[in-house]
Amino acid sequence: MSPDSVVVALGHEPHAVPPVTHVRGTLLAGSLRALNESHMKERYDQVLDPAYHHAIMNLVVASWVPVDVAVAHYRAMDAVGYTPEQQIDNGRLVAQRIQNTYVGTIIRGLKASGTVTVWALLERFPIAWGRLLDGGASAVYRLGPKEARVECHGVPFADIAYFRAGWEGMFESTIELVTRKVYTRQLPALQSRSVVAYRISWV
């Protein structure tokens, strides 16, 4: 297979990807748990847009949350004062809390079919995407035997540093379920207000 070959096609022209309109409450609930564990809740309440306080404090985990609520949440998390390393760690915590549901189901299916590899997991990224985000689209490209580029399009909070770093941690934690060690880094040249991209390698 040649470098940069398509593993998961975007499915749209980049300029025509429909934007994310809702996110699963699970994602925000995971962030809020990480927030409480780091004792930053008081600071979060100070920087959160008051118009969204009720919606976030009364979040239903299994519900679909309007994207403007998610944007307000991620902007507040970004303003709390976490270091980039802490943002990544928070993303790992969020991933660990959804692995028994959305991602866990996918991995159990891979084990049942005997195809538990990173590539098999990445091929199913759109399934996890659809369970966590309503709208948008994802693409995966093979850069080498153990190296991939993952692109997330149509994400209205892609310009928020906390979100981008958090998803670094989510990718690392999730892919480490099927391999020993994962390394991720953002690809700023491919990013925009609605696109975030990562280079992911593993051993």
pLDDT digits (tens, 9 = 90+) for 80-100: 999 999 999 999 999 988 776
Q: Which helix (H) or strand (E) holds 10?
A: none
Mean pLDDT, the chain, integer: 93
Sign of the CA dihedral 66, 10, 102, 201?
negative
Least reliable range by pLDDT among 3-17, 47-61, 73-87, 106-120: 106-120
**pLDDT, average across residues 38-56:** 96
What's the pLDDT score for residue 76?
98
Instruction: Output the CA–CA distances (angstroms, integers) from residue 161 to 57, 98, 114, 158, in the order listed.
Output: 23, 21, 37, 8
Task: Give the integer Cα–Cα distance in Å for 27 and 15.
Answer: 26
Contacts of 81 (CB under 8 A, 6+ apart): 40, 43
Q: Classify 57 as helix, strand or coil.
A: helix
The span from the CA of 51 to the CA of 54, in Å, is: 7
The answer to whether 80 and 43 have CB atoms below 8 angstroms apart is: yes
**Predicted TM-score of the model (pTM):** 0.91
Helix (H, G, I), strand (E, B) or coil at 159: coil
pLDDT of residue 1: 40
pLDDT (0 to 100) of residue 103 = 78
By C-alpha distance, which of 146, 103, 96 is closest to 121? 103
